[in-house]
């Protein structure tokens, strides 16, 4: 019986981690949608499924080459590879399985990034607008950011600024910023208030997200070596300390810790440790998880005044947690952080990359959202004339609106 080669072992790891990343994408839909009701969870799952289909099709049509291929636009974009011809090779039976496994893992990462935006805007936009937005958003926002992270020899982030980003935290920040831009384009007044949460859906989705995101962290190493196991343990410790810190914040602010707060803490810790799990010791992984959870919980209280509903919670965790995770290795990364090297070069590079991606993603997504709003329509709002009253019924209504007694006005929903 032939022994497995190192390439085959590493390919098996990438296939397994890619499956976990897909699990995290659909778990995100159940978790975020479950915070606003069963109907919202169903709609979020539909948006994630459609977004995943768009991401996979575009990747096969040439998007994967634009992320990892030889330079087309130096430092920004690779040459498209239709049909993944460079990965499959002329004789797949005799070629190494590693390139195809890496392609599958990176496509799963693109699906997860698309899912972050999908669950944030599912209750706000129409399905038609979401499909059109995803088709333009992936090449304009995701592919340039992903090229900077995964094109190790030419990417603007890794090769140009020498940014430390193992798992694609810049992509998570871009997804959070894009969701904010699209939410701003839709307008706050057309948002439905959340219904009663579904703890069962939140628990199932949160567990899927927790386990699946660990696959994202481990798969970023792309090899089964000594670092892979440490990255897995570091990610688990960061998520655990994130849970404890978020629940502590809830207790200090005189609120009762809930299931959603615990799962949000785990998510904040996982997002923060994504960037630098390979260059942080286990102690620093615990600290970054706690700091990310503290920052996200604090910012979430401030952002709640915008009254965008549970969708904004996910955006805050993606943006704040991703930025904390990017800045942290600039201080404490082994060998290149300020503590070890004595300079702030890496810290400045990490900050520039994170803020540039955030501003770029918000701007492009806002412009795309406004273009859709004034062409095919971004949100679906029905108007019903009744005795001079214009009643708004936003997208995702879970129940029929009962008629009003004569002479009584319907309260405005902010």
Which tens digit of pLDDT belongs to each residue from 118-159?
998 988 899 999 999 999 999 999 999 999 999 988 899 998
Whose CA is closest to 129, among 83, 190, 62, 59? 190
By the 8 A CB rule, do 138 and 132 touch?
no
pLDDT band at residue 26 using 50, 70 and 90 as cut-offs: very high
Does 8 or 129 have the greater pLDDT score? 129
Phi, psi angle pair for 73, to nearest 5°: -115, 110
- 92: number of CA atoms within 13 Å, CB side? 9
Does 6 or 370 have the greater pLDDT score? 370
DSSP state of 80: -
Give the contacts of 78 (CB within 8 A, at least 6 positions apart): 65, 66, 67, 68, 69, 70, 71, 72, 147, 151, 154
Q: Which of 3-12, 98-107, 293-302, 353-362 has the lowest average pLDDT?
A: 3-12
Q: Is the pLDDT of residue 396 over 50?
A: no
pTM of the predicted protein model: 0.87
Mean pLDDT of the chain: 84
Cβ atoms within 10 Å of 190's Cβ, excluding its own:
17
Q: How many helices (H) and strands (E) does the chain have?
A: 15, 4
In this prediction, residue 306 carries a pLDDT of 61
By the 8 A CB rule, do 353 and 276 touch?
no
Q: What is the mean pLDDT of residues 45-70?
A: 93
Which tens digit of pLDDT belongs to each residue from 172-223?
999 999 999 998 898 764 445 556 778 888 899 999 999 999 999 999 888 8
pLDDT band at residue 388 using 50, 70 and 90 as cut-offs: very low
Dist CA 168 CA 220 (whole Å): 8
Q: Which of 60-64, 286-290, 294-298, 304-308 has the lowest average pLDDT?
A: 304-308
In this prediction, residue 225 carries a pLDDT of 82
Burial of 400 (0-12, 13-18, 19+ CB in 10 A): exposed
Q: What is the mean pLDDT of residues 234-241?
A: 93
By the 8 A CB rule, do 282 and 233 touch?
yes
pLDDT band at residue 410 using 50, 70 and 90 as cut-offs: very low
In this prediction, residue 37 carries a pLDDT of 73
Q: What is the mean pLDDT of residues 401-405?
A: 48
Which tens digit of pLDDT belongs to each residue from 297-347?
888 877 666 666 666 788 889 999 999 999 998 888 877 778 777 778 889
Which ranges of 220-344 does DSSP label H, i.e. alpha helix? 226-252, 259-273, 282-303, 310-332, 338-341
Vertex 236, ends 170 and 321: CA angle to 5°?
A: 30
């Amino acid at each position: 019986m032939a022994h497995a080669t190192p390439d085959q072992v590493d390919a098996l790891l990438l296939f397994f981690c890619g499956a976990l990343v897909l699990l995290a994408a659909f778990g995100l839909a159940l978790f975020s949608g479950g915070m606003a009701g069963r109907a919202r969870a169903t709609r979020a799952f539909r948006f994630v499924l459609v977004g995943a289909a768009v991401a996979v099709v575009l990747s096969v049509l040439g998007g994967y080459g634009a992320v990892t291929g030889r330079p087309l636009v130096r430092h920004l974009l690779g040459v498209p590879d239709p049909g993944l011809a460079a990965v499959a090779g002329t004789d797949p039976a005799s070629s190494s399985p590693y390139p195809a496994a890496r392609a599958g893992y990176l496509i799963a990462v693109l699906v997860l990034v698309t899912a972050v935006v999908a669950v944030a805007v599912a209750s706000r936009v129409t399905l038609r607008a979401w499909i059109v937005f995803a088709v333009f958003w992936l090449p304009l926002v995701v592919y340039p950011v992903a090229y900077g992270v995964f094109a190790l020899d030419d990417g603007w982030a890794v090769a140009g600024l020498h940014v430390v980003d193992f798992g694609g935290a810049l992509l998570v920040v871009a997804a959070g910023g894009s969701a904010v831009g699209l939410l701003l384009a839709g307008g706050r007044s057309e948002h439905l208030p959340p219904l009663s949460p579904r703890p069962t859906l939140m628990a199932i989705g949160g567990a899927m997200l927790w386990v699946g995101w660990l696959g994202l962290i481990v798969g970023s190493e792309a090899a089964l070596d000594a670092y892979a196991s440490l990255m897995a343990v570091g990610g688990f410790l960061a998520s655990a300390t994130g849970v404890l810190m978020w629940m502590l914040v809830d207790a200090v602010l005189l609120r009762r810790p809930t299931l959603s707060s615990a799962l949000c803490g785990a998510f904040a810790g996982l997002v923060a440790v994504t960037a630098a799990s390979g260059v942080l010791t286990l102690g620093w992984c615990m600290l970054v998880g706690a700091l990310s959870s503290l920052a996200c919980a604090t910012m979430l209280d401030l952002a709640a005044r915008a009254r965008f509903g549970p969708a904004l919670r996910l955006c805050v965790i993606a943006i704040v947690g991703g930025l904390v995770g990017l800045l942290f290795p600039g201080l404490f990364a082994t060998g290149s952080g300020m503590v070890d090297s004595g300079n702030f070069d890496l810290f400045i590079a990490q900050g520039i990359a994170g803020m540039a991606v955030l501003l770029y993603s918000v701007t492009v997504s806002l412009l795309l959202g406004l273009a859709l709003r004034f062409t095919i329509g971004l949100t679906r709002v029905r108007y019903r004339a009744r005795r001079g009253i214009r009643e708004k019924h936003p997208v995702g209504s879970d129940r029929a609106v009962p008629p009003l007694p004569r002479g009584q006005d319907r309260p405005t929903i902010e």
